[in-house]
Structure 1
């Protein structure tokens, strides 16, 4: 294994195969069979979360949204949330910290929205390039700015998720590596700090998956 700080993010294994990517599907194996077979407590909780997200995404999409399209974004939220949480456990590879995965999620979504919008609602898409009330002198500049902001959207989605997951993991690794050289008093403070950081990372895991899904929904609502 690599001896630097980024070795925890290395997707290759000792067999020179990228077996660590299997951790993406580890969440399905961890779930107990009762989750699927009967109305258990975890299933009831997850159903209420899904219903809340469904109502919120419906509001964001508006009346012009296609029926059932919210389930795509709920599935996206669920997948990212699982991967973010699994990365908090020891010896489990955090796949959502790699641009390989985050760009794979963001780029096809953005491309499909753009193709759908420009093919079916070309006039609406052209209108989006110039905000309402823009002076005639500034219109060419606004078109350039809006075009660039549209192009970089998948990159910002992917980098935001990956950078947030990497930052917290690196901070915990840096603090953990200083443990053996500390006195008992400072070590107890370090353990307390690590616990607080773990709570923060759990919140970041939820927030970043929610932000990714909400922004994807907003981008989808703009092309309708």
Structure 2
């Protein structure tokens, strides 16, 4: 996911370059003896040339570099692995670090994806782990918040997701169960145990499913909670 994010970042950069001032650019591509490809963008006057070079260094790291007409770096995206085999994507601009995205797995199998700023300070991360009871826990962190989502099943087999803050306090609980008639029931409760969203998916005598929704939440909040029920 992180790599896709930075692919998109590079595409946006190139697009902004190619469409600057509504000019039309001619495009040429070349491949050297090492298999490195260079795409050159030139305006009708032969000026404002930008080059995008995709290459591999001696360590096998993939590098996408955008340079201006006289070869000065505009932006570089480097994909590599550290000594532990973890994936890393580093972005520099005008020779200076901008951001780095890294995917790691610890000795317990917990997976983490993090983004650091130009100073190496972590600004955002997503970590997936398993607690001592075998429940999946996903933790989201950024500069403003720290939220964890624990997925588990109760003794009746009902699916439960608990959303907690950085102090471990429960903020919301999502419960998915099935009644004796096979109808799917989804409920969201707040930190005081009050039901703030209830969705019943019932099957009529003709085999059709009808969903009834009871809530005072706004449409965006409802969509977010329902997406979480679906595992997104």
Shorter-normalised TM-score: what interval? under 0.3
Q: Name the structure where strand makes up a greater proportion of residues.
A: 2
- Relative contact order: is structure 1 or structure 2 higher (C-alpha 8 Å, sep ≥ 6)? 1
TM-score scaled to structure 2, two decimals? 0.20
TM-score scaled to structure 1, two decimals? 0.20
